[in-house]
Amino acid sequence: MISDFIIFAGAANPALASRIASELGAQLGARVIERFPDGEISVRLEEPVRGREVFIVQPTSPPVNDHLIELLAFADACRRASAERITAIVPYFGYARADKRHGRREPITASMVAELIQTVGINHLVTIDLHAPQIEGFFHIPVDSLTAAPTLCQAFRRRLPGNFVIVSPDAGRVKMAAEYAHRLNATVAVLHKRRESGTETEILRVVGDVRDRACLIIDDMISTGGTIAESVAALRAAGARSEITVAATHGLLLEGAREKLTRAGVREVLVTDTTPVSRQDWPQLQVVSIAPLIAGAIRRFLADQSLSDLC
């Protein structure tokens, strides 16, 4: 067991890193992150890491490219300073939607990012609810994809109305919906959609009984809010009650997302703090911290214990 460890916070989500360190009774490692006028990123470690277990907390959330390069620079600095082992805590893994080619002349960017992460010397990757679980296959290092389902279920267990149904916004989230349904003793409905572009989708039909029932739409992320807004409209057209709640692991909530969800009449939106989320003047938004889950995983890593009881 390596007892000498240090946690560094990247610039993407220092508040989450601070919560994780607090859960572990530790202090964040001292570092300096600078951005030069031309956009280049500089990282400097302000304390030694030689022979130590290093954890770098850095979701690759927007701006994705900046935060990805910063993570790589952090890892390279730790490797060159003789860290014993480097674990990247990447709660939100950017480029996860680019896990396959849709045409002959396209990159598989998720695979490229995996190669970069391994090349700089990262020994272990920890993430939360990967958009495409098969991305683990792009890595030759250990990957632990934790789930926020227990955390979110605990947060809204007593707040859901009776006779509700779990709704998967597409076929790709059915497994996640089934996990929520098992934990909440509910049934599942699925929306079949067709993606028109990177920001627009069309709901084709609702599979499952939602008439006169409250709905909990679950997803791994909310970015523009377009898919959720379309889902709400489809559920109401199918006879669902107006009590529609949304739960997602990653609340990216890009520009315009709040307005779309507000216009759609969503009753409540629950997300975790895998990425920074502003709740300012939006009472429908609730943020649940994922820090205890990640801290629990780190404790088990340090003690060479299984993660099975975190699921």
Catalytic residue list: 193
200: Cα separation from own chain's centroid? 21
Asked if 185 contacts 174 with a C-beta cutoff of 8 angstroms, the reply is: no
Distance between CA atoms of residues 232 and 271, nearest Å? 17
- DSSP strand pairing (285-288 vs 244-251): unpaired
Nearest to 294 by CA among 302, 282, 284: 302
Q: Are 291 and 26 in contact (CB under 8 A)?
A: no
Name the residue with tokens 């991305």. 135
